[in-house]
Structure 1
Amino acid sequence: MTMTTTAAVGLTEVSKVYGSGPGAVTALDKVTVSLSRGTFTAIMGPSGSGKSTFLHCAAGLDRPTHGTVRLGDIDLTGLRERALTELRRSRVGFVFQAYNLVPSLTVRQNIELPLVLGAAAPEAGWLQHVVTTVGLADRLGHRPAELSGGQQQRVAIARALVTRPEVVFADEPTGALDTRTGRQVLELLRAVVRTTGQTVVMVTHDPGAASFADRVVFLADGRLAGALESPTAAAVAERMTGLGEW
């Protein structure tokens, strides 16, 4: 597969095998996919389909057993661990279900944490733009415990954006939120893609969440099982039913 300049993430023939011998488990099986810059992609599939492994390999958190992973023009597969760590710190953002905020730090300090840890500071005004975009301008002095779950996830999204990364990877970002708050967070991610040209890749099990994406990529048994453009919740649920999830 030839990678174009518009691709933010590219996996070519990626396999991930855990263990060896008769007990080996193939979590990903020769997956090839290209995700365009400035798009919002949801990754879906039944339990055990390889969604989390896909995210971990694509984000450089785990190395594939075979195949190539590219972030923009960089081949992650050949990077040494230190270079991979530096790349994750500066060119990738992460949002998790559990927020992963530092309780003793203020909202501002949590957002700026990647910069403190060594990521290069973005141009002047970007931090303020991010804070305004996520709606936290009046909460910068608060601690996480003083915020609602939705506000804490907004802090996590701002932290993921502060280095102006090439890609933000989100792992079940609304899993701990109620439906209304989850929808607000998804609308925020959608707005971030639209207004800043950010690329977002989100793993989710929720058809409603997936409907906020531009495209849904389906996995089943570690293999690609098709994609859906401009998805609706009903169309995603129907496709997931076909994969045996419901």
Structure 2
Amino acid sequence: MLFLGGRSVKNRLTFPSRTPGGTESPAGGSGALALHEVTKHYGSGENRTQALKGISVELARGSFTAVMGPSGSGKSTFLHCAAGLDRPSSGEVWLGGTPLSGMRESRLTRLRRDRIGFVFQAYNLLQALDVRDNITMPLRLTGERVDPAWFDEVVERVGLTGRLHHRPAQLSGGQQQRVAVARALITRPDVIMADEPTGALDSRTGAQVLTLLRDLVEELGQTVLMVTHDPLAAAHAQEVLFLADGLVVDRLMAPTAHAVAGIMTELGDR
């Protein structure tokens, strides 16, 4: 049990249950994403660095979770392991009912493409393509047909109607990030993973993007996992997980920017 600022928090926030035959699975099998005793280290010997130290977390479907922590706390490694971009040194990661451990790289690539939507700080749009083609790129890569009704709903939700034939250079930063959110949504992913999605935006535009993500959770049941350094951004989430030294050391439900900033100040004094 870890103690911080008068609150007691278990490092293992939820525990995956064991199914018959000894295979680990997310508790109840209903979570969107689960990490069980995940560790990650880099290097060896004197150069060995342990970025994650036995983290167990489950995200419910239709939840919006922010991850925060001081520099070097392990939050980027947490996101990369959760997304299958990096393999844990030990432990299990489950996307829905699918275990990622032992999965071949080619299958893992397909899973990331089909079941995880990514939103990055730098947008990562293809400058030669217009908005429509950037949004539908994940489907075009797999040869899947675009569902016109779903495409129209996504475009309307992100506020890009009338911009479909513009190229990224013709859009504001906020509009480009909306394209990135639409691209993440188009495959109907299990989870959207956002890495500092408002880091390149001004406060007003960033708030609009975060409100959009929260609306997707509340109105569509989308699951969102977001890494951020900004207490104002974290306050848009339903829950905040705080990492320090590779451990989950605190969590905050129904966060406010003031409460988040207070915990981050405490972590900085550790």
User: How many Å apart are 1:123 and its aligned residue?
Assistant: 4.5
Contact 1:122/1:164 (<8 A) preserved: no
| Partner Cα distance (1:228, 1:58) in 2 | 20
In the TM superposition, what are the counterparts of 1:136-151 in structure 2 within 5 Å? 136-151=160-175
Q: What's the CA shift for 1:6?
A: 2.7
Q: Matched residue of 1:117: which SS?
A: helix
CA distance in 2, matches of 1:245, 1:165: 38
* TM-score for both structures, normalised by structure 1: 0.97
The answer for the alignment partner of 1:170 in structure 2 is 194
**Partner residue of 1:97 out of 111, 121, 137:** 121
Q: Distance in 2 between matches of 1:170 and 1:131?
A: 19
* Alignment-derived partner of residue 212 in structure 1: 236
Structure showing greater Rg: 2
Displacement over 6 Å in runs of 4+: none
Which sections of structure 2, spanning at least 5 residues, go unmatched? 1-14, 18-25
Partner of 2:96: 72
Separation in 2 of the partners of 1:100 and 1:128?
22
Q: Which one-letter code corresponds to 1:109 in the other structure?
A: D
Structure 1 unmatched ranges of 5 or more: none
Give the counterpart of 2:69 among 35, 45, 67. Answer: 45
Tell whether the 8 Å contact from 2:136 to 2:146 is kept in structure 1 after alignment.
no
The equivalent residue for 2:250 is 226
Which AA in structure 2 matches 1:105? L
Aligned to 2:207: 183
- TM-score normalised by length of structure 2: 0.89
Partner of 1:108: 132
| Letter of the 1:153 counterpart | Q
- The question of 1:157 aligning with 2:163 is answered no
Classify 1:203/1:218 alpha carbon distance in 2 versus 1 (closer, same or farther; 3 Å).
Answer: same
Q: How many residues align?
A: 246
Q: For the aligned residues, what is the CA RMSD?
A: 1.3
Residues 42 and 201 in structure 1, CA contact (< 8 A), matched pair in contact too:
yes
**Counterpart among 142, 159, 183 of residue 135 in structure 1:** 159
**Residues 217/175 of structure 1: CA separation in 2 closer, same or farther (3 Å cut):** same
Amino acid at match of 1:173: P
SS for the counterpart of 1:202 is: strand
Q: CA deviation at 1:78?
A: 1.9
Q: Percent identity?
A: 61
Tell me how far 1:121 sits from its aligned partner. Answer: 4.3
In the TM superposition, 1:26-41 aligns within 5 A as 26-41=50-65
